[in-house]
Amino acid sequence: MEIEYPELNLLLQKFRANPYKIYPVFTPHTGYIKEFKVKEGDLVKGPTGKWLEKPGSPLFILEREKNTKIIRAQISGIVQNLKMEFLNKFVEAESCVLEIKHQLSQEEIISEILLSALYIIKAPETARYVLSPSLALKLEKEGIGKVKVKTGDELLIMTFMKRETPIYLSQEGDFVIYRLYFTPFQLIQKDQPLIGLCLEEKLPYLEKIVKKIKKEWPSS
């Protein structure tokens, strides 16, 4: 337990001081913003996935070619930086209309910490991904957090537009598969995380930090 990771401790301190993350809300397509359903400082709720629930609080109404669309919050939090000047104006696709200040929960903080602590394999391009068959079998048998991989091992197969390209582990060292960030054959955007790997000697320390967070933050 002697190995120290000062950057992780620093990150943890940052989360203690400011346990928020800001999510910008973009327009999905062009159109006119007809009405804002929220004011600055309002509390909005994201979808919880419950039966018969309306998914997310309405944020604003976007009209294009006589069709209206209600844009709903995808995450719960407080509305800020609302751009009132967009009201009844034409907006382009993917312009930022408002921001939601979201308080991080215990699981979210753990995943944020893991994202910076683990060696992350990112998607090299927008495509569909599957685990390599031998690795998938191993994972099924031994479970996540136990399967070991080393340099040169085939991890994933990228499939897109009739191509199938294997992806190998290029980083030096012995790793343990700690997290999977994708479901097989789902379209993944470029640079999104796919697999989180942990150096074998780093593993006990990481588990210690996770335990610490679980004790410090209330679980939702």
Partner 1 sequence: MKERVLIANRGEIALRVIEACKELGIDYVAVYTKEDEESLHVKLAEKKYRISDYKDMNDLLAVADEAKCTAIHPGYGFLSEDYRFARRVVKRERPLIFIGPSWEAIRDLGNKLFLKKLAKELNIPVIPGTTQPIFNEIEAELKAEELYETLNFQGNYNYSLMVKAAAGGGGMGIAEVRNLDELRPVFRKIRAYAKRFFGDEGVIIEAKIPYIQHVEVQILGSKHNEYVHFGTRNCTIQSLSKQKRIEIAPGFLYDRGEYGFDIKKIENEIINYSLKLAKYFKYDNVGTWEWLITPEGKYFLMEVNTRIQVENEVSAKISYVNNKQINLIKEQIRVAFGEKLTYSQQDIKFKGTSIELRLVAEDTKRGFIPLSGTITKFFWTPKPWLSVRTHVPQDKFYNIPTQFDPNLALAIIYGDSFESAKKRALEFLEDVKIEGTTSNGERLITNIEFLKEKINWLYKFIPA
Given the rule CB under 8 A, which residues bind partner 1?
A: 28-31, 64-65, 67, 90, 92-95, 124-127, 160-163, 165, 167
Instruction: Choose between 28 and 41: whose C-beta lies nearer to partner 1.
Output: 28
Our CB check for partner 1 shows the closer of 45 and 83 to be 83
β partners of residue 79: 100
Least distance (Å) between residue 164 CB and partner 1? 9
* Least distance in angstroms from the C-beta of 197 to partner 1: 18
How far is C-alpha 204 from the geometric centre of its chain's CA atoms? 24
To partner 1, the closest distance from the beta carbon of 99 in angstroms equals 19
Structural tokens at position 86: 């967009």
Whichever of 3 and 161 has its CB closer to partner 1, that residue is 161
**CB-nearer residue toward partner 1: 37 or 64:** 64
- Residue whose tokens read 């990228």: 158
Please tell me the distance from the alpha carbon of residue 32 to that of residue 16, in angstroms, as a whole number.
40
Q: Taking the CA atoms of the chain, what radius of gyration do you get in angstroms?
A: 21
Please tell me the distance from the alpha carbon of residue 128 to that of residue 146, in angstroms, as a whole number.
25
CB of 141 or CB of 162, closer to partner 1 = 162
Amino acid at 195: I
Alpha helices in the chain (DSSP H): 6-17, 106-117, 133-142, 203-216
Between 43 and 93, whose beta carbon lies closer to partner 1?
Answer: 93
CA distance 112 to 4: 19
Nearest distance from residue 29's CB to partner 1, in Å?
4
Q: How far is CA 120 from CA 9, 126, 175, in A?
A: 19, 16, 11
Task: Find the shortest distance in angstroms from Cβ 142 to partner 1.
Answer: 28
Smallest separation, CB 161 to partner 1 (Å): 6
Exposure of 178 in the CB half-sphere (CA atoms within 13 A): 26
3-class DSSP state for residue 97? strand
